Homo-oligomer: A and B are copies of this chain.
């Protein structure tokens, strides 16, 4: 099978995101990259859940980590059974069901998307449990994870190409947080089509995903990249003649609201003020018709009182840390999906179009 991470930055190679091998899941610690390049090694699936909760990896990372975590859970389940000389299919399934629940609930905002991945893995494990060997069960769960990420990259290669099409030659793109795979595939598409692009990254406090992750991917792939702090976005859009603002999304509701890393909304406001288009990448989520089913995660406020390691505030000062914000559809120029670009008010069309396609994206009717 062709690996879809070819030509992408270090940070986007599967082995450098989350990878199951021999009873352990290895996760690149995105909290400290590129200051340090270190991996967290988990030998229990609950450690994977904890790593997701602790944001060792983020953006698309947690989904692969969860899928690889299911392979680890399968390993733990069959290993426990094998060592007890009591290969019990029901026991394996029960153990992995618990793992699926724990992994999908590691972060409140992404429960629904996580579920669809870990439950896919769970179905594979259930199918093999009782009939296949211990190794085969684990291998099946690993392959599920690999196919999941590889298929996802294939989809994001299409989204990246659609996004690249929206950038003018010699264009300047401002980004928020880390759009992960799409950042890489968008830039790979630009490179393939000979398009010169300059990237401006908002640093994205408190964890600096913009300056550490997005900037590193662009730099790794040979594009000129400039970092600004989060208070400079509006000024820079005008001063640096930004052509396009783009971000990924944690949730896109069917009525066109975008839930993404906090800061996206005020960047969209500034972009609108200057008539700069804002394109969000991602998949409108049929599980979220509107915002009523979305929980905005509030994280430990102490994180905002720190700059990297150092605490910089006086004792007695508190922090507030809403992890996401909500951009209303009227501030977004288009939702870039694997099926093309949709107006945020017409995402029902995306659902219709996607129903006409099979898992491989081929038309099944018309």
User: Chain A interface (Cβ within 8 Å of chain B)?
Assistant: 34-35, 176, 200, 202-206, 208, 211-212, 215-216, 219-220, 224-236, 239-240, 261-263, 265-266, 269-270, 273, 301, 304-305, 307-314, 316-322, 325-326
Q: A202: which of B231, B233, B236, B273 is its contact (CB, 8 Å)?
A: B231
A34 touches B313 (CB 8 A): yes
With a CB–CB cut-off of 8 A, which chain B residues contact A226? 301, 317-320
A34-B314, A219-B316, A239-B322 are known contacts; what are 17 more A-B pairs with Cβ within 8 Å? A34-B313, A35-B312, A205-B231, A211-B304, A211-B305, A216-B313, A226-B301, A226-B317, A226-B318, A227-B304, A228-B319, A229-B262, A232-B262, A233-B266, A266-B269, A308-B310, A309-B310
B212 touches A313 (CB 8 A): yes
Nearest chain B residue, comparing its CB with the CB of A222: B316
B269 touches A234 (CB 8 A): yes
16 A/B residue pairs, CB under 8 Å, sorted by A: A35-B311, A205-B205, A205-B229, A206-B229, A208-B312, A211-B304, A212-B314, A215-B314, A219-B317, A225-B316, A225-B318, A229-B304, A231-B261, A231-B263, A235-B262, A240-B320
With a CB–CB cut-off of 8 A, which chain B residues contact A308? 307-310, 312
Rounded to whole angstroms, the CA-CA distance of A301 and B319 in the bound complex is 27
B35 touches A228 (CB 8 A): no
Nearest chain B residue, comparing its CB with the CB of A313: B211
Rounded to whole angstroms, the CA-CA distance of A240 and B322 in the bound complex is 11
Nearest chain B residue, comparing its CB with the CB of A324: B235
Number of copies: 2
Q: A204: which of B34, B204, B231 is its contact (CB, 8 Å)?
A: B231
- Main secondary structure on chain A at its contact with chain B? mixed
Q: Give min CB distance, A174 to chain B, whole Å.
A: 11
Q: A262: which of B208, B215, B220, B231 is its contact (CB, 8 Å)?
A: B231
With a CB–CB cut-off of 8 A, which chain B residues contact A235? 262, 265-266, 322, 325-326
Q: Give min CB distance, A298 to chain B, whole Å.
A: 9
Nearest chain B residue, comparing its CB with the CB of A176: B231
A305 touches B227 (CB 8 A): yes
With a CB–CB cut-off of 8 A, which chain B residues contact A320? 200, 226-228, 232, 236, 240
With a CB–CB cut-off of 8 A, which chain B residues contact A176? 231
Q: Which among A35, A205, A235, A273 has the highest number of chain B CB atoms within 10 Å?
A: A235
Q: Which among A212, A240, A265 has the highest number of chain B CB atoms within 10 Å?
A: A265
Q: Give min CB distance, A68 to chain B, whole Å.
A: 26
Nearest chain B residue, comparing its CB with the CB of A9: B314
Q: A325: which of B230, B234, B304 is its contact (CB, 8 Å)?
A: B234
Q: Which among A202, A203, A314 has the highest number of chain B CB atoms within 10 Å?
A: A314
With a CB–CB cut-off of 8 A, which chain B residues contact A225? 316-318
Rounded to whole angstroms, the CA-CA distance of A269 and B271 in the bound complex is 11
Q: A211: which of B219, B224, B227, B312 is its contact (CB, 8 Å)?
A: B312
Q: A270: which of B240, B266, B309, B311 is its contact (CB, 8 Å)?
A: B266
Q: Which among A211, A230, A312 has the highest number of chain B CB atoms within 10 Å?
A: A312
